[in-house]
Homo-oligomer: A and B are copies of this chain.
Amino acid sequence: MNKVIETILNHRSIRKFEDKPLSKEQIEAIVASAQAASTSSFIQAYSIIGVTDKEKKKKLAELAGQQPYVEKNGHFFVFCADLYRHTLIGELEGKDIEPSIESTEKFMVALIDAALAAQNAAIAAESMGLGICYIGGIRNHLDEVVNLLKTPQRVIPLFGLAVGYPENLSAQKPRLPFKHLYHENTYEENTQTLIDELKEYNEIIKKYYLDRTGGKRSDTWTEQMGKMLEKQSRMYMKDFVEGQKLKLR
């Protein structure tokens, strides 16, 4: 195993950071790493907003569901899908790009672009001994996030990335078994095989929680997912996205 794969496999989300800001050099290395990621047909359909203003960070922490590590960290990045830039390009080049930009396909492209960049940023940060935590919670109230960060139409803040010096290391949660996640040539057609694999994984997760909580918590993965997915969350998203003039056509 090489140093890079070691860094990747050592990942765990960090939810407690020292109150020590990242240096300008660290921020620049993280953003340069993000930008080095592949981008669909060179479209570069994302932007990054670094939030350093204390009031803004406090507000974001509230909006994300009272997550203190959104406020207290080394640096807080917000990764945005960005097709506003391309709207300007349409004007600049005198091209009608609206139908293209308002398509589901381009929405997907922008999301994927932003996520590829973010994961490079995350790995770069971790390689410097920093910890990271993705903050999907900013999607709880995107209307307020958009006001706070003054993002124009066709920019959708997707998630935050809290980065900083870790105060404590959390445990790593076991992932789905390789054979369940990885298929060869065709997706596993036997439903019972998939269900058996999920049950096998359930035992691993149950043991993980039992060990970690000294017997207090024992839920399985499918229990946890069933409970989570039964709740309807962020159901305003379609209206929000379309309100930002990224129509899902």
- Point out the residues of chain B lying under 8 angstroms from A33, CB to CB: 5, 8-9
Contact A122 B38 (CB under 8 A): yes
Contact A186 B149 (CB under 8 A): yes
C-alpha spacing A56/B31, complex, angstroms: 38
Contact B225 A43 (CB under 8 A): yes
C-alpha spacing A118/B36, complex, angstroms: 14
A4 to B, closest residue via Cβ: B127
Question: A202-238: which have CB < 8 Å to B?
Answer: 221-235, 237-238
- Point out the residues of chain B lying under 8 angstroms from A5, CB to CB: 29, 33, 124, 127-128
C-alpha spacing A150/B183, complex, angstroms: 11
- Point out the residues of chain B lying under 8 angstroms from A111, CB to CB: 108, 111-112, 115
Q: Mark A103-128, 1 if CB is under 8 A from B, else 0.
A: 11100110110111011101110111
Q: Mark A85-110, 1 if CB is under 8 A from B, else 0.
A: 11011101111110111011100110
Task: List 6 A-B pairs, minimum CB-CB distance, nearest first.
Answer: A93-B226, A4-B127, A115-B115, A119-B119, A97-B229, A150-B186
Pull 25 A–B residue pairs with CB atoms less than 8 Å apart, ordered by A: A1-B29, A2-B127, A4-B124, A8-B120, A8-B124, A31-B182, A36-B175, A41-B228, A43-B225, A44-B175, A47-B182, A49-B183, A49-B184, A50-B182, A88-B198, A92-B198, A93-B223, A93-B227, A97-B226, A97-B230, A112-B115, A116-B134, A149-B185, A149-B186, A150-B187
